Amino acid sequence: MWGIFVLGEKELEKISNVFKKESALLAVYLFGSYASGNPHRYSDVDMAVLFDKTTNPEDYTDKQIDLVVSLGRLLGREADVVVLNRAGSFLKYIVLKNGLRVYERPDRNERDFEARAIVEYFDFLPIKNRIEEGILSKIKKAI
């Protein structure tokens, strides 16, 4: 039977060491159930990564897979890695709002990305709300 896996200081340090090996990374965030402190025994470890502008977008998937494999081996459980450079505005906002930054490249502070992502989310919010209202309206009519 699987127990609940807790990410303590030791595990976070190991995770940080994995990300230090990838020189193109600007920042890494832990989000989802582990960031909120509510993991269950089947929870995977959700990570979001931000690559620098010199990284070719065609390389994102290979780098993402390498990180998933490395983290899975290190932690002994399933890991999921999201590339923030190509994520939608809602996911970026959720990661920044609820996630924990577990790694930031020492020579770079990527606050510009965070500010842009938050502005992008709030710009999109009225559209998101209208879409949700339309869906709810259709559901109510169908009932």
pLDDT band at 108 (very low <50, low <70, confident <90, very high): low
Closest CA to 26 of 48, 7, 46: 48
pLDDT at position 133 over 80:
yes
Mean pLDDT to the nearest integer, 89-117: 80
- 4 falls in which pLDDT band (50, 70, 90)? very low
**Predicted local confidence at residue 1, as pLDDT:** 32
Write the single-letter amino acid at 45.
V
Burial of 60 (0-12, 13-18, 19+ CB in 10 A): middle
Residue with more model confidence, 110 or 1: 110
CATH 1.20.58.340 applies to domain 9-142: no
pLDDT at residue 107 is higher than 60: yes
Over residues 29-41, the pLDDT tens digits come to 999 988 888 888 8
Confidence (pLDDT) at 115: 67
Above 60 in pLDDT, residue 106? Answer: yes
The pLDDT assigned to 3 comes to 42
Calpha distance 102→12 (Å, rounded): 7
CA distance linking residue 143 with residue 138, whole number of Å: 9
Residue ranges of alpha helices (H) inside the chain are: 9-20, 33-36, 60-75, 89-98, 111-142
For the cut 60, the answer to whether the pLDDT of residue 81 exceeds it is yes
Of residues 59 and 127, more confidently modeled: 59
Residue spans of the domains in the chain: they are: 9-142
Please, what is the average pLDDT of the chain?
83
Average pLDDT value for residue range 65-94: 92
CA distance 41 to 87: 27
Tell which residue, 123, 104, 44, 76, has the closest CA to residue 84.
Answer: 104
